[in-house]
C-alpha cells in the first residue's frame, strides 16, 4: 500500500466480503495497549480486539483478526508479536506514558491537536510519528532509550545512562512485583529460585 497513490483503508476483506473497520489512530493505540495489558486474560484479548475494530464482526474471526494485524502493521506483513522497540528489543515509547510528549510533538511539527482532531487514520498517524523532527523531546527520549551504552565511554556513557534512568518506561505491574519480591528475599534471606520459576 502506498499512501501517495492509494487511499488508506477503512474496510478490509474477510471471507470474500468487505467489512468496515475502525482505523482511527486512537483505536489502534487502544489495541496496542490491550495486547500489552497483563491484567487482560489471553483468552479474552482476541474477542475484545474484534469488538474494538468491527461494527459487524465477520463470521471468520481468525480472518478478521488477521485483518486487524494487517491494518495495525500498516499493510505490511504482520509480525507474530507486536513490537514497540528500536530494533534491539528495547521498548522506546509507550503511548500511555509518553502521551504528553507525543501530543506536543504533533502540535509543534504539524499543527495537529491530537486531542481535538475528529479522525486521523492509523497509517497517517504512524507516518507522521516516524517523521517527527529530531528536536522534539519524544524523539530525543526515544534516542536515549534505544542507545546501546556498551559501546560508549566516559562522560557520554554516564550521560546516556543517566538519561535512560530518568526517562525509563515503567515496568509492567506483574514484572515490578516480581522484582520487588526478589529484592526482598535478597535483602532478608530466603530462596530466590522459587521466585524466578514463577
> How does pLDDT run across 23-56, given as a tens digit for each residue?
999 999 999 999 988 889 988 999 999 999 999 9
Q: Is 24 helix (H, G, I), strand (E, B) or coil?
A: strand
DSSP assignments along 113-158, one per residue = -TTT-S--BHHHHHHHHHT--TTSHHHHHHHHHH--GGG--HHHHH
pTM above 0.85, yes or no: no
Q: Is 122 helix (H, G, I), strand (E, B) or coil?
A: helix
Q: Locate cell 470474500: which residue?
A: 16
pLDDT in tens, 67-96: 999 999 999 865 544 444 444 567 899 999
* Percent of the chain residues past pLDDT 90, beyond the cut: 69
Q: Is 12 helix (H, G, I), strand (E, B) or coil?
A: strand
- pLDDT surpasses 90 at 9: yes
- pLDDT surpasses 90 at 22: yes
Average pLDDT, the chain: 86
Mean pLDDT across 154-165: 95
**Contact between 142 and 86 (Cβ < 8 Å):** yes
DSSP class of 119: -
Q: What is the pLDDT of residue 1?
A: 74
Ramachandran angles phi, psi of 11, nearest 5°: -145, 160
- pLDDT surpasses 70 at 188: no
Closest by alpha carbon to 120, among 108, 107, 133? 107
- pLDDT surpasses 90 at 111: yes
- pLDDT surpasses 60 at 7: yes
Question: How far is the C-alpha of 83 from the C-alpha of 96, rounded, in Å?
Answer: 15
- pLDDT surpasses 80 at 194: no
Amino acid at each position: 500500500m502506498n499512501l501517495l497513490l492509494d487511499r488508506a483503508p477503512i474496510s478490509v476483506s474477510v471471507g470474500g466480503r468487505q467489512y468496515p473497520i475502525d482505523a482511527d489512530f486512537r483505536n489502534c493505540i487502544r489495541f496496542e495497549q490491550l495486547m500489552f495489558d497483563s491484567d487482560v486474560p489471553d483468552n479474552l484479548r482476541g474477542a475484545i480486539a474484534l469488538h474494538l475494530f468491527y461494527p459487524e464482526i465477520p463470521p471468520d474471526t481468525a480472518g478478521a483478526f488477521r485483518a486487524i494485524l494487517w491494518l495495525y502493521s500498516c499493510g505490511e506483513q504482520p509480525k507474530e508479536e507486536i513490537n514497540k522497540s528500536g530494533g534491539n528489543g528495547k521498548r522506546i515509547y509507550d503511548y500511555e506514558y509518553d502521551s504528553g510528549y507525543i501530543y506536543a510533538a504533533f502540535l509543534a511539527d504539524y499543527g495537529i491537536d491530537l486531542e481535538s482532531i475528529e479522525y486521523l487514520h492509523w497509517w497517517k498517524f504512524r507516518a507522521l510519528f516516524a517523521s517527527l523532527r529530531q528536536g522534539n523531546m519524544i524523539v530525543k527520549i526515544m534516542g536515549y532509550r534505544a542507545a546501546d551504552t556498551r559501546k560508549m565511554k566516559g562522560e557520554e556513557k554516564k550521560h546516556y545512562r543517566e538519561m535512560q534512568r530518568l526517562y525509563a518506561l515503567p515496568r509492567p505491574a506483574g514484572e515490578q512485583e516480581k522484582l520487588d519480591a526478589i529484592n526482598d528475599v535478597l535483602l532478608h534471606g530466603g530462596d530466590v529460585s522459587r521466585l524466578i520459576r514463577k
